[in-house]
Copies of this chain bind each other. A is one copy, B any other.
Amino acid sequence: MAGRASAQAALETRRSVVKAAADLASVEGLDSVTIGRLAEIVQMSKSGVIGQFRTKETLQLETVGLVFSDFRTRVWETVKRFPRGLPRLLAACDAWTEYAADPGYPGGCLMTQVTYDYDGRDGAVHERLLEGRNQWRETLRADLTAAVETGDLPEDTDIESVVFGLESLASFISPARLLHGDTRAADHAYRGMRRIIGVPEEVR
């Protein structure tokens, strides 16, 4: 069918392309996502695909955007009603590790994938990535400082160090599963997070 001017249908097309891009990127990396292969997957012409985004970079940016919005929904939204401070932090860690273990992409967690892919490059994707990660870091910091204020965590807690630790552990879940077949990866990460934060271990 050539040319349906329904804006709604177009939006659906757009979404399906971005979803396909995310799926493909999770397996082979964002760079390997090509207009041609994408067109093949969604059964469209190359020009039909690129036409939705004008340029490939726009598509990449929207792909990264999808990843962060997914993350926000699956992790942040589920814990935002918890009381600030340590309870919410631990709930976040729980949801976070669970997300990383099953992010809904065929090739593992795309967020960490993109992180390691574009950490050392310049450009809009790098910027978008940085923005998304900083948002999450900020919420972690907020709960950490709150936990210190309430006395749940010691006064001399090095917040930046803890944030680093949490991000590390979450980021290694996906490669541990994919590379070493470590099915306990999420548990390892969660237990590590409790150690990093400094709360006693606990069977969940």
Q: Give the interface of A toward B (CB within 8 A).
A: 26-29, 31-32, 107-108, 112-113, 115-117, 119-121, 126, 129-130, 133-134, 137, 158, 160-161, 164-165, 167-169, 171-172, 174-176, 178-180, 182, 184-185, 187-189, 191-192, 195-196, 198
CB-defined contacts of A29 to chain B, threshold 8 Å: 29, 31, 117
CB nearest neighbor in B for A27: B120
CB-defined contacts of A188 to chain B, threshold 8 Å: 158, 160-161, 164-165
Taken together as a complex, chains A and B put the C-alpha atoms of A180 and B163 apart, in Å, by 12
Count of chain copies: 2
Taken together as a complex, chains A and B put the C-alpha atoms of A192 and B170 apart, in Å, by 14
CB-defined contacts of A184 to chain B, threshold 8 Å: 160-161
CB distance from A66 to the nearest CB of B (A): 18
CB-defined contacts of A191 to chain B, threshold 8 Å: 158, 161
| Partner pick for A192 among B115, B120, B164, CB 8 A cutoff | B164
CB-defined contacts of A112 to chain B, threshold 8 Å: 116
